[in-house]
Amino acid sequence: MSLVVMKFGGTSVEDPAAIGRTAAIVAGRVSMGKQPVVVVSAMAKVTDQLLRAAAAAAQGDRTGALAISSRLRSRHLDTACHLVKAPADIAALTRNIDEKFNALDEVLRGLAAILELTPRISDLIVSYGERISSRIVAAAFREQGIDAAHVDAREVIVTDSQFQKAIPQDAIIERRAHEKLLPLTAQGKVPVMGGFIASNEAGLTTTLGRGGSDFTGALVGGAVSAEAIEIWTDVDGIMTADPRICPDALRVKVISFEEAAELAYFGAKVLHPATILPAVKKNIPVLVLNSRNASCEGTRIISLAPHCNSPFKSISVKKKLSIIDVVASRMLMTHGYLRQIFEIFDKYQCPVDMVSTSEVSVSLTVDSNEKLPAIVSDLKNLADVKLEGKKALVCLVGEDIRGQQGIAAQVFNAVRHVNVRMISQGASEINMSFMIEEDDADEALRSLHAAFFKSPDPAIFDVEARKQL
């Protein structure tokens, strides 16, 4: 069986034209003899708007929350009516969309009364984005002659109960995928399910964290041992830098699992950081492709990428970070001291991105998050603490960085006009990163890109595209 999981992001299902392109791409795979399993995100920006509606309701702004919901209802109904013409199908679809929005409005009214937004309610509210988009896409596919069957993702993707960043239960997902998806593909049907959303074992709705539809795609791919996991988005693949910041970024043709995971973790939004894990477990290639430019071959992420003559494959930037400086002149480097510091981060389940130590201080970088005041207050029991926000981490990824003589000098020469706060090199062979002010980040990225992608290796990068500019 040539099963392929095809995940389409928000921009690939943002309006009738985008859904039409997506249908054509899936029909193309079917005509090649492939058996697709389709995973879709909410329509572009819908998750943000649902979160805004939830926040408004939680502040008692019932009218504002319901107004957002009403606009979303119209957008989804308009899209459905554009795409689905068969009278019985559009009647069933609009009924379904109305029922979902009625239920969402009930939740928002309740929230405006109790004024407390818990992670569990937040997940329930945002889940409507994918629950509705997947219904519309399945119906649109059927209209285009694809034998699509809608599957509720919450029946397949089972997680623990950490709402908003739930951890998937791989063994249950594998069993459910075999029960719910494979009988459909065996009949030649194309299952269509929402990404990002899941449920815990008690059946309550959970989510995999922002951008989590990529992760759903990979989890499904792993569970059914797909021959490939395709991530369809709005750029030609993984690029040498975020093309929104660096317009002359080049497409990376091929990259290793390890390198892609590092880029995703350190801010390349094109992939959710956990996407690579299920693929690595079963050695399934991941392809990043452009639904607006389907003939482009995209980026192939595989276990062993061919040798690259350029020092780096790509540069990512992760913003909204904070540095915590813990200064204790007497205690530092005494036995057990670092353990005490890390126990505090552990207590608040707060991941640390980078650590550097001096004789009297430890500096740690973390995502700016709402737990920071409590973390700082606990740390103050151990030492003097200073918290600085608005930082960014620049991360250069490439093969064997450690083995390249003089590379650090070249990097810091390229950003010599920028104040560098913390540096990490050597912990990983494939990553070199440093912290700067968030306001300097875009400029630093462009300078590094100009310095390191002047004559890129044509075996790895799409240099033809640059020539055509």
Task: State the minimum distance, in angstroms, from the CB of residue 216 to ligand ASP.
Answer: 8
- 82, 175, 210, 269: residue in contact with ligand ASP (rule CB under 6 A): 210
Residue 371's binding partner out of Mg ion, ligand ASP, ligand ADP, none, with CB under 5 to 8 Å set by partner kind = none
Task: State the minimum distance, in angstroms, from the CB of residue 349 to ligand ADP.
Answer: 24
Q: How many residues bind ligand ASP (CB under 6 A)?
A: 12
Residue 314's binding partner out of ligand ADP, Mg ion, ligand ASP, none, with CB under 5 to 8 Å set by partner kind = ligand ADP
8 Å CB contact between 42 and 196: yes
Q: Per-residue x/- marks for Mg ion, 7-46, CB under 5 A? A: --x-------------------------------------
Task: State the minimum distance, in angstroms, from the CB of residue 233 to ligand ASP.
Answer: 10
The Cα 323–Cα 353 span in angstroms is 10
Q: Taking CB under 6 A as the rule, does residue 431 contact ligand ADP?
A: no
Pick the stretch among 41-49, 275-283, 374-382, 397-405 that binds ligand ASP (CB under 6 A). 41-49
> Which residue is it, tokens 């029922």?
99
Segment 6-35, which members bind ligand ADP (CB under 6 A)? 9-12
226-229 own/partner pairs: CB under 8 Å, 24+ apart: 226/3, 226/4, 226/5, 226/37, 226/284, 227/2, 227/3, 227/4, 227/284, 228/4, 228/5, 228/284, 228/285, 228/286, 228/287, 229/4, 229/5, 229/7, 229/279, 229/284, 229/285, 229/286, 229/287
Q: Residue with CB nearest ligand ADP?
A: 9
Q: Residue with CB nearest Mg ion?
A: 211
Task: State the minimum distance, in angstroms, from the CB of residue 10 to Mg ion.
Answer: 7
- 95, 244, 347, 380: residue in contact with ligand ADP (rule CB under 6 A): 244
8 Å CB contact between 163 and 123: yes
C-alpha pair distances (Å), 90 with each of 77, 132, 137, 383 = 10, 14, 12, 64
Determine the 3-state secondary structure of 224 from DSSP.
coil
Determine the 3-state secondary structure of 178 from DSSP.
helix
Task: State the minimum distance, in angstroms, from the CB of residue 193 to ligand ADP.
Answer: 16
Burial of residue 304 (number of CB atoms within 10 Å: 0-12, 13-18, 19+): exposed
Pick the stretch among 57-65, 211-219, 334-342, 426-434 that binds ligand ASP (CB under 6 A). 211-219
Q: How far is CA 208 from the centre of its chain?
A: 9
- 268, 301, 395, 430: residue in contact with ligand ADP (rule CB under 6 A): 268
- 39, 121, 219, 235: residue in contact with ligand ADP (rule CB under 6 A): 235
The Cα 393–Cα 368 span in angstroms is 12
Residue 242's binding partner out of Mg ion, ligand ASP, ligand ADP, none, with CB under 5 to 8 Å set by partner kind = ligand ADP
Across the strands, what pairs with 149? 191
Q: Taking CB under 6 A as the rule, does residue 299 contact ligand ASP?
A: no
8 Å CB contact between 397 and 315: yes
Task: State the minimum distance, in angstroms, from the CB of residue 91 to Mg ion.
Answer: 33
Task: State the minimum distance, in angstroms, from the CB of residue 27 to ligand ASP.
Answer: 23
Of 153, 156, 160, 172, which Cα lies nearest the Cα of 202? Answer: 160
CA dihedral (267, 272, 273, 278) in degrees, to 10, reads -160
8 Å CB contact between 364 and 308: no
Q: Taking CB under 6 A as the rule, does residue 47 contact ligand ASP?
A: yes
- 36, 191, 211, 221: residue in contact with ligand ASP (rule CB under 6 A): 211
- 23, 42, 57, 422: residue in contact with ligand ASP (rule CB under 6 A): 42
Task: State the minimum distance, in angstroms, from the CB of residue 133 to ligand ASP.
Answer: 9
Residue type for 49, please? Q
Pick the stretch among 1-9, 16-24, 260-268, 428-436 that binds Mg ion (CB under 5 A). 1-9
The Cα 60–Cα 57 span in angstroms is 5
Determine the 3-state secondary structure of 190 from DSSP.
strand
- 130, 143, 242, 325: residue in contact with ligand ADP (rule CB under 6 A): 242
Q: How far is CA 440 from the centre of its chain?
A: 24
Q: Taking CB under 6 A as the rule, does residue 10 contact ligand ASP?
A: yes
Pick the stretch among 39-47, 143-151, 234-242, 325-333 that binds ligand ASP (CB under 6 A). 39-47
Residue 196's binding partner out of Mg ion, ligand ASP, ligand ADP, none, with CB under 5 to 8 Å set by partner kind = ligand ASP
Question: What is the CA angle 339-346-329, rounded to 5?
Answer: 35
Q: Taking CB under 5 A as the rule, does residue 211 contact Mg ion?
A: yes
Q: Helix, strand, coil: what percent of the chain each, to 5? A: 45, 20, 35
8 Å CB contact between 323 and 422: yes
Question: What is the CA angle 128-214-82, rounded to 5?
Answer: 50
Q: Taking CB under 6 A as the rule, does residue 41 contact ligand ADP?
A: yes
Segment 377-406, which members bind ligand ASP (CB under 6 A)? none
Contacts to Mg ion by CB under 5 A: 9, 211
Contacts to ligand ASP by CB under 6 A: 9-10, 41-42, 47, 129, 195-196, 210-213
Contacts to ligand ADP by CB under 6 A: 9-12, 41, 211, 233-235, 238-239, 241-244, 268-270, 314, 316
